[in-house]
Amino acid sequence: MGEQSKMQYYAGGTSFNSPHAGPHGRDCFCISGPKHIVQSVDWSNEEHRRCIAACLVKATYIMEEDRPKCRVYDMGLAPLWWQSFHFELRDLLKCGTENADEFIFGAIFEYCPPVGCQRHPSAPNYVFALRGTMPRHPKSVHDLYNDIKVFLSDLPCCRRTQKARQAVTNMLIRKGTERCVLWLAGHSLGASLALEVGRDMAEQHQAYLPTFLFNPPNVSPMPALNLLNASEVAKKDVFTGSYLVKAALGATVMRSYCTRMEKVFQRLSPWVPGLYVNERDIIGQGFTDSFEQRQKVEERIAGVGRAAMKLSYRDMLSSLIGSSKEQPHLLPSARLWKNSNTTFGTHGLKQWWRPDSELKLSCRKFTYPGA
C-alpha cells in the first residue's frame, strides 16, 4: 500500500491518554491490551510471541471498525495495538470494489526494533495478520459468505485467500526466505485463511512459516458428540471405527489417492503451525479431538492412525468424481495449545493476549510418524 493510501486510514495513533479512548473500551489498547508485556518484550518467551501475534490480529479488526466510524487520525484506536510493540503498518489486505465498497480483512506489519537494538532471532521481520468474521459490521455478508466457503472446504478459491497468498509469495520473493522471518496469524475465519496460505507455502515452496492460528474453525462431528455428553469410550469407539474404515479404503479402492496424500504429508510435515483452541469452543473443538484421538488410535493399533490421519471421507468422495480438494484440518504436524479457561470467552480473540497465569494452557506437539 502506498503512503497516500495508508494515510487515508491512519495518519497517526492515539496516545495512552487519548480523550477518545473511553467509549470504545474493548478496542482501546490501554484498557484491554496486554499490559504485562508492554514495558519489556521477551521474544524468546512463547507467551509474549503469542500475545503480540494476537494483538496484531486484533488491530485488523479495529482498523475495519475505525474506517466506517470515521475514527481516523488522532481518533484512531488501532495504531497502539501495533505501535506498542515497535511494529509499523506496511500494507492493507482489502477486498471489494475500489474505494467506497472496499473493506479490510488483513494487514502486513513490519517489526522495527528500537533505535540501537538489533532484531531478536525469535522476532519476525513481517507479520501477516488476518481477521475473522465481524457479524455486526454493515458488510458482514462478505464474511459470512467466506464462512460458508470454510464449511464447504472451498476457501482456496476465494479472493481473500488468493490475495493473501499472492502477498505472502511476493514478500518471500522480494525479501528471500532465508533473510526474512515472516509470521502468519489469524483468528477464526482469518485462521482458516492463514492455514490455507501456510499450507500452500509449505507444500509448494518449502517455506515453513511460523503460524499462529487462533480458534481455527474445523467442520467435525465431535462438537455434536460433546453436546450429547458422549463418554470417552464412545468417542474412542467412533474414532477407532472411522479410522479402521479409512485405512481399509486407503489400502484398496482409494490406494492411488492415499499415495498422493502420503506425498502431500511428507512435504507438509516440517511445518508445525500453532493451533490455539479453547476446549469449550465448538467451532474449533474438531482440531483438539482429531489430533488427540488420532494419537490414541495410533498407540492402540500401530499403523492405522498413520494410514487414516491423512484421509477424509469428503476428500475421498471428491477424488472419485475428479476433484482434488484437501481438507485443511488434515495436518501431519502441529503444536496444539489448549485453553480450558472460559473466563474470557471460548471463541474470542482476547483470551490469547492474556498472560499464562490467567489461562489454563496445555501444549502438545504432534508429528507425522516416520517423517
Confirm whether 66 is domain-assigned.
Answer: yes
Judge whether residue 9 has pLDDT over 60.
Answer: no
Q: Is the residue at 114 inside a domain?
A: yes
With respect to residue 268, please indicate whether it lies within any of the assigned structural domains: no
Of 6-10, 229-233, 289-293, least confident by mean pLDDT is 6-10
Region 310-333: mean pLDDT is 78
Question: In angstroms, rounded to a whole number, what is the distance separating the alpha carbons of residues 293 and 300?
Answer: 10
Tens-place pLDDT, residues 164-214 = 999 999 999 998 877 889 999 999 999 999 999 999 999 999 999 999 999
356: pLDDT strictly greater than 50: yes
Query: What pairs with residue 111 in β-bridges?
Result: 87
Rounded distance between C-alpha atoms, residue 62 and residue 298, angstroms: 43
61, part of any domain: yes
Q: Is residue 312 part of a domain?
A: no
Q: Please, are residues 183 and 128 in contact by the beta-carbon 8 Å criterion?
A: yes
CATH number (domain holding residue 127): 3.40.50
Q: Quote the pLDDT of residue 100.
A: 60
State the chain's mean pLDDT as an integer: 86
* Structure confidence at residue 164 (pLDDT): 97
Region label for 360, one of left (φ > 0), alpha (ψ between -120 and 50) or beta (otherwise): beta
For the chain, how many structural domains are there in total?
Answer: 1
Residue 252, domain member (yes or no): no
Exposed/middle/buried for residue 344 (C-beta within 10 Å: 0-12, 13-18, 19+)? middle
Q: Does the residue 50 lie in any domain?
A: yes
Domain holding 163, by residue range, is 3-214
What Å distances lie between residue 88 and 108, 119, 210, CA to CA? Answer: 9, 14, 19
- Confidence band, pLDDT 50/70/90 cuts, at residue 98: low
Following CA atoms 283, 285, 290, 293 in sequence, which dihedral angle do they give, to the nearest 10 degrees? -160
Confirm whether 368 is domain-assigned: no
Q: What's the average model confidence in pLDDT over 53-69?
A: 90
How far is Cα 178 from Cα 90, in angstroms, rounded to an integer?
Answer: 21
